[in-house]
Structure formats: structure tokens, C-alpha cells
Amino acid sequence: MVKTVAIASDHAGYELKTVLQPWLQELGLTVVDLGAFNGSESVDYPDFAARLARGIREGEFERGILVCGTGIGMAIMANRFPQVRAANCLTDFTARLAREHNDANVLTLGSRVVAAEYAKAIVTTFLRTEYAGPESRHQRRIDKLAALAPNGGK
């Protein structure tokens, strides 16, 4: 299982982030909190998603979790970064396939659409599921994500 996870949220995702962070630490993970640091001040989700995505791209973090109201905006921003494969998951089934098939390294969650206890199940699946591997049929598709991107995904 992963050892280091970065987590970030905007104001809408702050409350769910404050539930997930100590729970992840109880599981023995090193958790790097990139903000937001309060839920009362309106902040812009792209700022937090970009910081986490840069850390994934540069190898600073093994995996990341981004939380906003729906998870959609965070996923859109994070996926603009090369080597980042962010998946907005609403179920543990989609979290499993995001890892197995897409080698997703960032999970986005929507605090307004996923209850905290179910979010824990999604996160657990995301962190424990391994990618099917470079010999799997999925690898050529993952390779195309970079190859078909502008500048070869760089």
C-alpha cells in the first residue's frame, strides 16, 4: 500500500478533508495537507489542485486526494498536468477500476455527493488497489494519454 498521500481541498471540501486526514494517519500513512486550512473562507480550487498535481508530477507524493463540492473541478485542473491521472470517483467500484485500468494517481471526491463514511471506503479501495501492470492491455491506453497530448504530455 501507499505510504505518502497528499490531500487538499477548497472551502467546500474542507470538512470532508478534516475527516479523512486523521483517519489516513491512523492507517499509518504520512499525510501532507496542502490546504485549504479553513472552511469558512471562499478559496479557488484550481490553486489547491495545481499544487498537489505538481507534487505528483515531480514525484514528491505517491498519491493524492483532492476534495471539492463535486470533485469535478479538481479533476479537471489536476488532469492538465503531465503524469497526473486524476479520477473523480463516486463509488469504490470506480475507484478500483481507476487504479487497475488507468493507473490513476489522484482521487477526487465531492463532499456534496459522497458521505464521509462512504468516502473512506472509496479512499481505501483507491489506495489498496494496484495497477494491472505494464504487461496489461491497459498500458497501451495509458501510453496514449501522454502520446496524444500536446507536446507529448510534457
The set of catalytic residues is: 68, 101
Q: Which helix (H) or strand (E) holds 5?
A: strand 4-9
**CA of 151: how far to CAs of 25, 51, 80, 145, in Å?**
38, 21, 12, 12
All cell numbers assigned to 86: 486524476
Q: What is the signed CA dihedral for 135, 60, 10, 80, rounded to 10 degrees?
A: -50
